[in-house]
Amino acid sequence: MIFSIGDIMIDAYFSLPGPLNPRTDTRGCIELVPGGSAANFAVWVSRLGAQSAFVGRVGDDFLGSGLKDDLVKEGVKPYLARDPSLGTGRVGVLVSETGERDMVCDRRANATLCEADIPCDDIVALASWVHISGYALFEAAPRAAARRAIDVAVRAGVPVSVDPSSYGFIRGVGAEAFLEMCRGASVILPNLDEGIVLTGTDDPEQIVSRLSNRFPVVALKLGARGSLGVASARTSNLVSAEPVDTIQVDTNGAGDAFNAGFVVEYLRGTGLAQALRRGNELGALAVSRRGAR
């Protein structure tokens, strides 16, 4: 079973036919869909036919109940703690005509994920892989929970992957501090912006090379340019995967879909190149439609 640990959200998409009418009403479209980087990953893993579990925290509200029901419907085993005082996390998503997105995050219950929420016994007994969303590493309580999960998995010989998730938040805590938070992970899955912040270079090959000094497997997501990776710090041989031709509608969740495709394929033992290609395919599918899933 592949465990995913981190954030779960309700995404609110705002679409306007034109400019806002100041100080009065503006017609538009608002869509509410399930989201959250770690939860998105878990859903894509299940859709690929692998056993999937998600560990996170929601509010004691109807949004949390709906998100739990959605995970179950998607075939994901939910380990959801309920926060009695904070509501379920939510994100406002503004999508441009080119498919790029800006997000306003209100993390709420996600920020109180704690060590007691981590099913350590099940991770040891059931997990074939543990995936950590970087969003869980930027605040004290979820960071302790994520570190607990990483340490338990590593001691049990279970591979761990980390998606850095936010180059803005990485800048806030500092690259070196963030890399130390990821200690023990065997795979890191940054996009180009995150790779730049983590390594201080904008050259993809240099990013992969520098990160490979700290992580046995690196898979760098390059969006429309495909992906680049290395599977051993002891070699400089890089493996690239070409992008998949698709019409870009919404980039939200593309990295989560890539991560799921990569992890499931890599766990099957088909090799780095095939894992990168599978990741590209899932990422392309995600950007071809509205919503993170």
Structure confidence by residue, pLDDT tens digits, 213-247: 999 999 999 998 999 999 975 544 577 766 676 77
Question: How high is the pLDDT of residue 15?
Answer: 78
Report the distance separating Cα 63 and Cα 272, nearest Å: 38
For 259-287, the pLDDT digits (tens) are: 999 999 999 999 999 999 999 999 999 98
Enumerate the domain spans of the chain: 2-8+36-90+107-287
pLDDT more than 90, % of the chain: 80
- Per-residue model confidence as pLDDT tens digits over 250-263: 788 999 999 999 99
Q: What DSSP state is assigned to residue 242?
A: P
Phi-psi region of 118 (alpha: psi -120 to 50; beta: other; left: phi over 0): beta
d(C-alpha 264, C-alpha 189), whole Å: 14
The pLDDT mean for the chain works out to: 92
Unique residue bearing structure tokens 């299940």:
46
Identify the DSSP state of 88: P
Multiple choice CATH, 2-8+36-90+107-287, 3.40.50.150, 3.40.50.300, 1.10.1060.10, 3.40.1190.20: 3.40.1190.20
Cβ neighbours around 237 below 10 Å, total: 9
150 to 45, 72, 189, 292: CA distances (angstroms) = 19, 25, 16, 26
pLDDT digits (tens, 9 = 90+) for 60-116: 999 999 999 999 999 999 999 999 999 999 999 876 666 566 789 999 999 999 999
Largest CA distance in the chain: 62
State residue 76's pLDDT score. Answer: 98
- The stretch 24-38 carries a mean pLDDT of 92
Look at residue 236 in the predicted model and tell me its pLDDT. 46
The tokens of 248 are what? 């870009």
Q: Identify the CA nearest to 55 among candidates 87, 90, 86, 80.
A: 80
